[in-house]
Amino acid sequence: MALRVGVIGGGQLARMMIAPAVELGIDLRVLAEGEGMSAQLAATEVGDYRDLEVVRAFATGVDVVTFDHEHVPQHVLRALVDDGVSVHPGPDALQFAQDKLAMRARLAELGVPQPDWAAVRDAAELEAFLESHDGTGVVKTPRGGYDGKGVRVVRAASDAQDWFDALGDGEALLVEELVGFVRELAQQIARRPGGQMVAYPVVETVQRDGVCAEVIAPAPDAPERLAQVAEGIGRAIAEGLGVTGMLAVELFETDDERILVNELAMRPHNSGHWSQDGAVTGQFEQHLRAVADLPLGDASPRAPWSVMVNILGGPAEGGLVDRFAAAMAEHPSAKIHTYGKDPRPGRKVGHVNVSGDDLDDAVYVARAAAAHFA
Ligand code: ADP
């Protein structure tokens, strides 16, 4: 019987696991949050991922449980593990992608380079941090943030008062130094339960309004030393935290060529979409291999350069598919990926990948093709 992999969450990351699952002969099943989600092309059932009995019932029909997002509560994950379900990444690893304060504390123990940070419970504690950091800081809600929501640059403790007011007993906010980075990078690592790891090349990511807009693989102008440091950080985190599946480490590069960890994702990640067309083994196939404990694939690039441009918002009228013919006719080298989502301002509805020998050319074609869908 085919290996059955269950994905909790029905977004575009689950959707993009479908094609490699078909190729590998894996029976992919999805527990989606609602009807009509991105991943509905897979065998999908609808249910609340916070409800233990719903998740338990879903897990009885699969051999491995993995995720499209990081929001499944710890008590649900731990109950599955106690039931004997194979969960990848497991709750011991996933907790550090769910809670940025827990992540900062654990990375400090591992000696991984990161921005100065503190847990602050009230305005007075935030004020003390700001005073020792030139009066500025970046305050983050430890849980539930995404695409820049839950991240705020502050110049006074009162700038975060509403978030302090919303804290429960014993809870705290994370404050970090405002890093003067020259660019953002991302390092991906795939890791199997037994410990086998494969590293992707470090990439450059460009964020607009807190949302990933473009990715260049590998990161341009990256000396060998920088690439090695990024890979070393990725491997140390994957191993130190016991991550299984794909790990993405978001990084800041400073003007003195230091690399600091921003945050972690334990699943396929926007910074790795280029690999679908630009690497020997794409991140979605690699994630399935890793969580199913199959030998990992080669993560080498297929071309000197790959560029990914996100399609945000989408056309004001009609769907992306209506624009296919024009984009494809003009840019036959562009690989267009769509998520089956209704266009909405700022929403990620697809992306374009272009690979080639010339970086400027690849950037031009990827942007031009994506612009057809704006
Ligand atoms: P999210 O979980 O919403 O993706 P992040 O922690 O990745 O939030 O922050 C979103 C963006 O905010 C980052 O990509 C970066 O551009 C900026 N940012 C986050 N932390 C810092 C920091 N300490 N210093 C400077 N910029 C930051």
- Residue 316's CB is within 10 A of a number of other CB atoms, namely 8
Whether 357 is covered by a domain: the verdict is yes
Whether 98 is covered by a domain: the verdict is no
Whole-number Å distance between alpha carbons of 260 and 113: 5
- Residues 286 and 358 both lie in one domain: yes
Kindly give, in sequence order, each residue whose CB lies less than 8 Å from that of residue 247, ignoring residues fewer than 6 positions away: 188, 189, 190, 191, 234, 237, 238, 264, 265, 266
For ligand 1, whether the C-beta of 150 sits within 6 Å is yes
**Cβ 66 vs Cβ 30: under 8 Å:** no
Could you report the average pLDDT of every consecutive run of 10 residues in the chain (374 residues)? 95 98 97 96 95 98 97 98 98 98 98 98 97 97 81 96 94 96 98 98 94 97 94 98 98 92 98 98 98 98 98 84 91 96 90 98 98 91
Whole-number Å distance between alpha carbons of 73 and 234: 25
Confidence (pLDDT) at 344: 87
Whole-number Å distance between alpha carbons of 94 and 66: 11
- Whether omega before 89 lies within 30 degrees of 0, making that bond cis, reads yes
For ligand 1, whether the C-beta of 254 sits within 6 Å is no
Q: Is the pTM of this model over 0.75?
A: yes
For ligand 1, whether the C-beta of 188 sits within 6 Å is no
For ligand 1, whether the C-beta of 115 sits within 6 Å is yes
**Cβ 367 vs Cβ 309: under 8 Å:** yes
- Residues 34 and 81 both lie in one domain: yes
- Residues 70 and 126 both lie in one domain: no
Tokens of 16: 């993009």
**Cβ 41 vs Cβ 15: under 8 Å:** yes
Give the containing element (helix H, strand E) for 338: strand 335-338
Domain containing 10 equals: 4-87
Q: Say how many Å lie between the CA of residue 246 and the centre of ligand 1.
A: 20
Residues in the chain: 374
Atom of ligand 1 nearest to the CA of 180: 25
Short-list 373, 334, 371, CA closest to 356? 334
Ligand 1, from 139, 262, 270: best to mutate by most atoms within 8 Å of Cβ?
Answer: 262
- Residue 126's CB is within 10 A of a number of other CB atoms, namely 25
Whether 96 is covered by a domain: the verdict is no
Give the dihedral of Cα atoms 140, 145, 148, 152; nearest 10 deg.
-20
Atom of ligand 1 nearest to the CA of 146: 3
The residue whose C-alpha atom lies closest to atom 10 belonging to ligand 1 is: 148
Ligand 1, from 69, 120, 129, 138: best to mutate by most atoms within 8 Å of Cβ?
Answer: 138
CATH number at residue 44: 3.40.50.20
**Neighbour-count burial of 53, counting CB atoms closer than 10 A to its CB (0-12 exposed, 13-18 middle, 19+ buried):** exposed
Helix ranges (DSSP H) in the chain = 12-24, 52-60, 74-82, 91-98, 100-110, 123-131, 161-165, 224-241, 275-278, 283-291, 324-330, 359-371
**Cβ 205 vs Cβ 271: under 8 Å:** yes
CATH number at residue 162: 3.30.1490.20
Residue 326 region by backbone torsions, left for phi larger than 0, else alpha for psi between -120 and 50, else beta? alpha
Whether 99 is covered by a domain: the verdict is no
- Residues 256 and 272 both lie in one domain: yes
Q: Say how many Å lie between the CA of residue 207 and the centre of ligand 1.
A: 9
- Residues 306 and 196 both lie in one domain: yes
How would DSSP label each residue in 254-307?
A: ETTS-EEEEEEESS--GGGTTHHHHBSS-HHHHHHHHHTTPPPPP--BSSSEEE
Whether 109 is covered by a domain: the verdict is no
How many domains would you assign to the chain? Answer: 3
Short-list 68, 65, 69, CA closest to 78? 65
Confidence (pLDDT) at 345: 86
- Residues 278 and 327 both lie in one domain: yes
- Residue 196's CB is within 10 A of a number of other CB atoms, namely 13
**Cβ 233 vs Cβ 263: under 8 Å:** no
The residue whose C-alpha atom lies closest to atom 2 belonging to ligand 1 is: 146
- Residues 129 and 256 both lie in one domain: no
Atom of ligand 1 nearest to the CA of 140: 6
- Residue 149's CB is within 10 A of a number of other CB atoms, namely 11
Whole-number Å distance between alpha carbons of 182 and 257: 9
- Residues 202 and 341 both lie in one domain: yes
Q: Say how many Å lie between the CA of residue 262 and the centre of ligand 1.
A: 7
Q: Say how many Å lie between the CA of residue 327 and the centre of ligand 1.
A: 33
Strands 4-8 and 64-67: parallel
Ligand 1, from 151, 185, 249, 258: best to mutate by most atoms within 8 Å of Cβ?
Answer: 151
For ligand 1, whether the C-beta of 70 sits within 6 Å is no
Q: Say how many Å lie between the CA of residue 154 and the centre of ligand 1.
A: 13
CATH number at residue 275: 3.30.470.20
Whether 101 is covered by a domain: the verdict is no
Confidence (pLDDT) at 83: 97
Kindly give, in sequence order, each residue whose CB lies less than 8 Å from that of residue 360, ignoring residues fewer than 6 positions away: none
- Residues 188 and 173 both lie in one domain: no
For ligand 1, whether the C-beta of 318 sits within 6 Å is no
Atom of ligand 1 nearest to the CA of 178: 24
Q: Say how many Å lie between the CA of residue 333 and the centre of ligand 1.
A: 33
- Residues 199 and 227 both lie in one domain: yes
- Residues 150 and 268 both lie in one domain: no
- Residues 81 and 120 both lie in one domain: no
